[in-house]
């Protein structure tokens, strides 16, 4: 029987709020230029009110991956938390317009507002991000629909949610349910500092109910506390069926059992690296959904990442399917 969803993601539902600003704006509003920083709720409210002609798009790491998969024609759903405020309602509507099911309705009378990343673009094109993690980081087991998770082929989890115990419990529930229904479950480790804070729990998850995990070189080395990539890959392959490690311009290393594939990438002049890992994941998962061999999956991931690196913004600006077709995939 065909399942409703090919890929279901669980992660932070963060609304990207983008506005172009003058250089004077940064000094007037105390915004540090060219960096990403976490801010509290009062500061988020202050900056949000100061943004003129803003645009709002649904974001978050795994949400970006799910969006990329949707653009490739994959049937998708995304599980996350938003409040029933302006940004939350906009987020839920935009996901539906994109063709991704968003099964959890905005939370009424929520204690925290919808999470947001306010992105100020200066005249020279530099992006300055101020992120407030509101309700999105409170995903827990009650947010995981067994009906949705039971009805997917692949489940993809976001490591950032591992910073809170309810998130860990939600992941275990979802992964165990996916396994019972024949789905393959995986995670993106997301951040080396997050891995460092929760190393034992990550190890338990990847060696337990998960079938694969995606990471970059720093995250993998942090997970296994070694500076030797070969050692880290071998440890990962002992813990989990499939390990996929991106290595920036060095390409991607894929390990399954004792086999290893090193897939090169085509060099791209970087314009904005935001979302490169998210779109690599979209490309790689697309390959898995289509049943391609692992080396081709890695190549597709590299093509998707290369496309998003070449322009501003975390989502594809051109058709990845056309790019794949032009390369005979």
CA-to-CA distance for 157 and 261, rounded, in angstroms?
24
Using a 10 angstrom Cβ sphere, with 0-12 exposed, 13-18 middle and 19 or more buried, the burial of residue 313 is: middle
Residue 56 placed within a domain:
yes
Tell me the average pLDDT across 205-221. 95
Tell me the average pLDDT across 97-123. 92
Token reading at 161: 């949610």
Residue 318 placed within a domain:
no
Question: What is residue 66's predicted lDDT score, i.e. its pLDDT?
Answer: 96
Coil, strand or helix at 325: helix
pLDDT band at 64 (very low <50, low <70, confident <90, very high): very high
Residue 152 placed within a domain:
no
CA 322, distance to chain mean position in Å, is: 23
Residue 187 placed within a domain:
no
Tell me the average pLDDT across 87-91. 94
The per-residue DSSP string of 95-135 comes to HHHHT-B--SPPBTT-SSPPEEEEEEEPTT--EEEEEE--G
Residue 30 placed within a domain:
yes
To the question of pTM greater than 0.75 for the whole model, the response is yes
What number of other Cβ atoms are within 10 A of residue 248's Cβ? 14
CA-to-CA distance for 97 and 319, rounded, in angstroms?
18
Q: Are 246 and 220 spatial neighbours (Cβ–Cβ below 8 Å)?
A: no
Residue 68 placed within a domain:
yes
Question: What is residue 52's predicted lDDT score, i.e. its pLDDT?
Answer: 83
State the total domains in the chain.
1
* pLDDT reading at 96 higher than 80: yes
Residue 83 placed within a domain:
yes
Computed over every residue of the chain, the mean pLDDT equals: 92
The CATH number for 22's domain is 3.40.1190.20
- The DSSP letter of residue 1 is -
Q: Are 28 and 121 spatial neighbours (Cβ–Cβ below 8 Å)?
A: no
pLDDT band at 258 (very low <50, low <70, confident <90, very high): very high
**Domain boundaries, position 127:** 8-140
Question: What is residue 75's predicted lDDT score, i.e. its pLDDT?
Answer: 97
120 bridge partner residues = 19, 128
Question: What is residue 47's predicted lDDT score, i.e. its pLDDT?
Answer: 92
Question: What is residue 122's predicted lDDT score, i.e. its pLDDT?
Answer: 83
The per-residue DSSP string of 143-182 comes to G--HHHHTTEEEEEEEGGGGGSHHHHHHHHHHHHHHHHTT
Tell me the average pLDDT across 320-328. 88
pLDDT band at 210 (very low <50, low <70, confident <90, very high): very high
Question: What is residue 272's predicted lDDT score, i.e. its pLDDT?
Answer: 67
């Amino acid at each position: 029987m065909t399942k409703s969803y090919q890929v279901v993601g669980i992660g932070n539902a963060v609304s990207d709020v983008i506005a172009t600003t003058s250089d004077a704006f940064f000094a007037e509003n105390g915004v540090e230029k060219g960096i990403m920083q976490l801010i509290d709720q009062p500061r988020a409210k202050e900056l949000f009110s100061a943004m003129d002609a803003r645009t709002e798009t649904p974001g978050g790491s795994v949400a970006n991956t799910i969006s990329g998969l949707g653009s490739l024609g994959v049937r998708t759903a995304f599980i996350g938390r938003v409040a029933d405020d302006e940004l939350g309602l906009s987020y839920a509507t935009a996901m539906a317009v994109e063709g991704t099911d968003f099964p959890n309705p905005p939370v009424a009378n929520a204690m925290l507002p919808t999470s947001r990343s306010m992105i100020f673009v200066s005249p020279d094109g530099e992006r300055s991000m101020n992120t407030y993690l509101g309700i999105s980081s409170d995903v827990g087991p009650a947010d995981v629909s067994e009906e949705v998770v039971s009805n997917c082929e692949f489940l993809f989890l976001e490591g950032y949610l591992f910073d809170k115990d309810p998130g860990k419990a939600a992941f275990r529930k979802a992964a165990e349910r996916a396994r019972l229904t024949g789905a393959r479950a995986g995670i993106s480790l997301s951040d080396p500092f997050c891995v460092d804070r929760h190393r034992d729990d990550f190890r338990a998850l990847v060696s337990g109910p998960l079938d694969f995990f995606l990471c970059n070189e720093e995250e993998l080395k942090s997970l296994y506390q070694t500076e030797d990539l070969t050692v880290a890959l071998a440890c990962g392959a002992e813990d989990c069926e499939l390990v996929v490690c991106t290595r920036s311009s060095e390409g991607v290393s894929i390990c399954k059992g004792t086999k290893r594939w090193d897939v090169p990438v085509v060099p791209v002049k970087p314009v904005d690296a935001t979302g490169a890992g998210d779109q690599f994941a979209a490309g790689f998962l697309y390959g898995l959904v289509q049943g391609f061999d692992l080396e081709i999956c890695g190549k597709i991931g590299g093509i998707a990442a290369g496309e998003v690196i070449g322009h501003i913004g975390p989502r594809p600006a051109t058709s990845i399917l056309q790019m794949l077709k032009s390369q005979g995939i």
